A = this chain, B = another copy of it.
């Protein structure tokens, strides 16, 4: 294992420390491993929290700031945060308008966020609405998941719901937007190599020779099938087809097309993939309204990419375009 770290057991807290030093506009509680907007709670605004296992950066800590999350709660690498952390964050961001939890669909996350919402409500009366994302069309159940896994749509939901909260929507209104994004978004990923969990020190799975894994999970969970490495053109088809088979993305106001890097695939390759995806979408009659290309929900040092399509209407495009100021996504301010 060749990584930039000290002791593997310290990687999460040390990375959060660096994030806080590099971004003085954030407040990082290293004890609870929470990244806050430094002006949280924002008076009158519904607060947004997300979190989960580390190893997916910039998700979630890099998406804290005006126009996106009020706080992000970091678990150990690929491990859910514990309820105490989530309770602490929930209490600290609530302005009285309530808190939305955006939770990726992994058993540990769903359970711990649920427990935290109950504890926070019982202790301080804060109103919490949790929305679970489950956009990965690759497999129905998985290693850590009943139902579909939550992946790339989470990034888009955090951005869009953040804008909705900024625009003054109430608790149920913001939660509804997260649901709308999740219902209209689908994803599919491909791994060219395994990732290596620092504490394990060796690759999570074996992907020998020229094989690639179609439908990979962001923790290295098995996908649909293992096939020989194909040209990017064919990989684009293998990602787009199952997504279009799952939901009709034609017509209307088009889609946000999001080509995501899994950690070790550089932008040179990601933009090439975007070009191939765009060609497949055009042939399928899917109009691209907006795009996003880059490593936004990673899987440690895995090589590969994922594609997320989100069907949008005027409302979602307007919320997508609204100003955002976080380490990972920034425009308009």
Q: Decide yes or no whether A276 CB sits under 8 A from chain B.
A: yes
Q: Whose C-beta in chain B lies nearest to the C-beta of A293?
A: B22
Is the CB–CB distance between A6 and B231 below 8 Å? Answer: yes
A231 → B minimal CB distance (Å): 4
Question: For residue A331, which residues in chain B have a CB less than 8 angstroms away from its CB?
Answer: 325, 330, 333
Is the CB–CB distance between B231 and A5 below 8 Å? Answer: yes
Q: Whose C-beta in chain B lies nearest to the C-beta of A211?
A: B2
Q: Which of A266-282 contact B (CB under 8 A)?
A: 266-276, 278
Question: For residue A146, which residues in chain B have a CB less than 8 angstroms away from its CB?
Answer: none
Q: Whose C-beta in chain B lies nearest to the C-beta of A23?
A: B291
A250-276 interface bits toward B, Cβ cutoff 8 Å, 1 = contact, 0 = none: 000000000100011111111111111
- Which one, B2, B14, B269, B275, contacts A21 given CB within 8 A? B275
Question: For residue A7, which residues in chain B have a CB less than 8 angstroms away from its CB?
Answer: 231
Is the CB–CB distance between B2 and A193 below 8 Å? Answer: yes
Q: Decide yes or no whether A47 CB sits under 8 A from chain B.
A: no
Q: Decide yes or no whether A298 CB sits under 8 A from chain B.
A: yes
Query: Bound complex: CA of A62 vs CA of B266, how far in Å?
Result: 13
Query: Bound complex: CA of A18 vs CA of B288, how far in Å?
Result: 13
Is the CB–CB distance between B303 and A19 below 8 Å? Answer: no
Per DSSP, chain A at the interface is mixed
- Which one, B4, B272, B332, contacts A192 given CB within 8 A? B4
Query: Bound complex: CA of A291 vs CA of B24, how far in Å?
Result: 10
- Which one, B16, B268, B295, contacts A57 given CB within 8 A? B268
Is the CB–CB distance between A57 and B235 below 8 Å? Answer: no
- Which one, B15, B232, B235, B274, contacts A269 given CB within 8 A? B15
Q: Decide yes or no whether A300 CB sits under 8 A from chain B.
A: yes
Q: Decide yes or no whether A32 CB sits under 8 A from chain B.
A: no
- Which one, B3, B267, B305, contacts A295 given CB within 8 A? B267
A226-253 interface bits toward B, Cβ cutoff 8 Å, 1 = contact, 0 = none: 0001011101000000000000000000
Given contacts A21-B278, A274-B18, A276-B18, contact A301 B265 (CB under 8 A): yes
Question: For residue A266, which residues in chain B have a CB less than 8 angstroms away from its CB?
Answer: 57, 263-264, 295, 298, 300-301
Question: For residue A31, which residues in chain B have a CB less than 8 angstroms away from its CB?
Answer: none
Q: Which of A57-89 contact B (CB under 8 A)?
A: 57-58, 62
Is the CB–CB distance between A5 and B232 below 8 Å? Answer: yes
Is the CB–CB distance between A273 and B21 below 8 Å? Answer: no
Query: Bound complex: CA of A293 vs CA of B15, how far in Å?
Result: 12
Q: Decide yes or no whether A40 CB sits under 8 A from chain B.
A: no
Query: Bound complex: CA of A16 vs CA of B22, how far in Å?
Result: 31
Is the CB–CB distance between A5 and B333 below 8 Å? Answer: no
A interface residues with partner B (beta carbon < 8 Å): 2-7, 11-12, 14-19, 21-23, 54-55, 57-58, 62, 192-193, 210, 212, 229, 231-233, 235, 259, 263-276, 278, 288, 291, 293, 295, 298, 300-301, 303-305, 325, 327, 330-333
Please provide the 8 A-B residue pairs with the shortest distance between their CB atoms, ordered closest to farther: A18-B275, A18-B271, A264-B264, A57-B267, A4-B269, A18-B274, A2-B192, A263-B266
